[in-house]
Structures are given as structure tokens and as C-alpha cells.
Structure 1
Amino acid sequence: MSGLDAALAGAVRWINTNLLVDTVRITLPATGGPVYNPDTGQNEYPEGEVLYEGPGAVQGGTAQSEISATPDAGQMWVQETKSRYRLMTPLTAPLAPKDAIVTVIGVHNVANTALLGRSWTTQDPSRAATTEVVRITPLDQNQAPREGT
């Protein structure tokens, strides 16, 4: 093992132990229409295929410039924003495809429970490099439903 390989292996161990401490799920978006659930009396969309569930971390951008607004084609004003986040998973996790859905399903710190129930969409496939220590996938936070809609 070369010096670089040994250093990268040490960094991978540190990241897996100290950074990837929450549980994330990556799913493909559900296809098809809603299905009636007789137990709830509601139409519900089916779950998407789970591609990965395991250790990970979601981090927001560190600069205000990482939030940008996108105009809606039918509006004269800006309605939605793009919020830059990144998903980090172990190198053993599969590459997430573009438009997959990422959710945090378990947090190591009870102060971070606000992450539970939020979701993000992958903006591009997971990044790959020749000297990786963690898999990074760019994300955009999904907007919460508006009240009364």
C-alpha cells in the first residue's frame, strides 16, 4: 500500500466513524398514480424503490450564495428557491442517480430531529474521483407543502 493509499484509508476510517453517523435513505421516485388505501380512506402514492439505507450525512451549503431563486415560467416574480446541500455516504454505498429522493431517517443527536421528515432531490449523479474518501452527491431541498393547498 502506498503512502497515499494509507493516508486515504485513514481518512475513510475517520469519516465513517465521526461524520457518517446519521441514517439516510436513497429511493427512486415512485411511478404510477395513487392507490386507494382502505385502512386510511385516502389515495396514497406507492413507495419508491430503496437504493440505499445506511450511514450518511446531509450538510447545507456554507455560503448564502448557495441559495438561488428560480422564476416560475407563469409568474412575474420568483416563487421557489434552490437550496444547495450535499449528501455524504460511504464509498461502499451505490452511486445515487439524478432525481433520486434522499431522506434522513435517523439522527445520532436528538438536537437534530428537525432533519427527520425533510427530503432532498439529487441534482446530479453521485460524484466520483480517483482519490475519494467519501461519496458526495449534490442535493436540492424539496419545498414543504404550502398551507391551504
Structure 2
Amino acid sequence: MAGLDRALTGVVAWIGANLLIDTVRITLPATDDPVFNPDTGELDYPDDQVLYEGDGAVQGSSAQELSATPGALTPWVQETTSRYRLLTPLDAPIPPKDAIVTVVAVHDPTRTGLLGRSWTCQDPGRAGTVEVVRITPLDQNQAPTAGGAP
């Protein structure tokens, strides 16, 4: 396999130069309790832990599968599941399940459709015996409704 890995070095470089051209951020949501700030009279929430910020790409899956799941307490469907995938370099950390992914900068200022959205990692980044890019399955988080409720 060492020979194949050496042969794929050019592919890895090409992917880095041509596909991983936006800036993505992977964070773990804070789990600590908020702390009361007596100066402001409000709760201070702990910061999320940034696991990675760097080159990457978010793409819709080739199947563009949309499935819907009813809520546990409602007889109707409230939310759809949108399948995406995160591409990151092999030297980036493997995103854990439930990490949050955002696109913080795009290579082309006319392609801002991914800015302001977030995704949840459905599983840890995929791994294989021969890799040229890390692929992590994502589910897009539903945007809040106009009234502010999710």
C-alpha cells in the first residue's frame, strides 16, 4: 500500500488546491452550565470548543436525499433531514459525532449560499485504507422560523 499512497500524493495535492478552497469551522458545543454575571445581570454561556478551522468544503450529497421524521409528540412531520458531506484535508482532526460545522469564508464572493448555515456531524469522519480526502456525513440544522422558534 505504501506505493499506492505515494502515487496518490498528486491527487491529494490537486484536491487541496481545487476542492478544499473554502474555510470551514468545526466546533463542539459547550456542555458547561452558564454562569451568572452580576455586572450585566445576564447569564454568560461558555464558548464552544473549536476543533478545526481551515481549508474544506461542504457539498450536498449526490443523491440529494430528503427524508422527513415526525416529532415524538406530534402526528405530523416538523423537520426534514438534508444530507450533506464535509470534505477536509487528511491532516485535519476527525470530527466527532454531533460536532457543528459552519462555513466561515467562501472562495468566490458570489457563492455565499452556505454562509450562515450550520450542520451537525452525523458520524465521525469516515476512514479507509486508502484516502485522498476526509469525508464526514452531515445533516443541515433547520433554520429558526420567522417567529424565532426552531
Q: Please list the CA deviations of residues 77-123 of structure 1 after superposition, one character each: whole Å capped at 9, or x if unmatched.
A: 11111110000000000011000000000100112212111100000
Q: Are residues 71 and 114 of structure 1, via their aligned partners in 2, closer, same or farther at CA, if it must alter by over 3 Å?
A: same
Identity among equivalent positions (%) equals 69
Say what the alpha-carbon RMSD is for the aligned residues: 2.1
Alignment correspondent of 2:90: 91
Alignment correspondent of 1:72: 71
- 1-structure distance, mates of 2:42, 2:88: 35
| Structure 1 residue 42: Cα displacement | 6.3
Alignment correspondent of 1:25: 25
Tell me the matched-pair count: 147
Specify every segment of 5 or more residues in structure 1 that has no aligned partner in the other structure, as ranges: none
Letter in 2 for 1:100: A
TM-score by length of 1: 0.89
Alignment correspondent of 1:113: 112
Moved segments of 4+, more than 6 Å? 36-42
Alignment correspondent of 2:57: 57
TM-score by length of 2: 0.88
| Structure 1 residue 147: Cα displacement | 1.5
Q: Please list the CA deviations of residues 34-79 of structure 1 after superposition, one character each: whole Å capped at 9, or x if unmatched.
A: 4567999865643210000100000012324x11111101111111
Letter in 2 for 1:55: D
- 1-structure distance, mates of 2:88, 2:8: 16
Is 1:145 the counterpart of 2:144 in the alignment?
yes
Letter in 1 for 2:62: T
Specify every segment of 5 or more residues in structure 2 that has no aligned partner in the other structure, as ranges: none
| Structure 1 residue 30: Cα displacement | 1.6
Structure with the bigger percentage of helix: 1
| Structure 1 residue 5: Cα displacement | 2.5
Alignment correspondent of 2:5: 5
Letter in 2 for 1:70: T
Is 1:136 the counterpart of 2:135 in the alignment?
yes
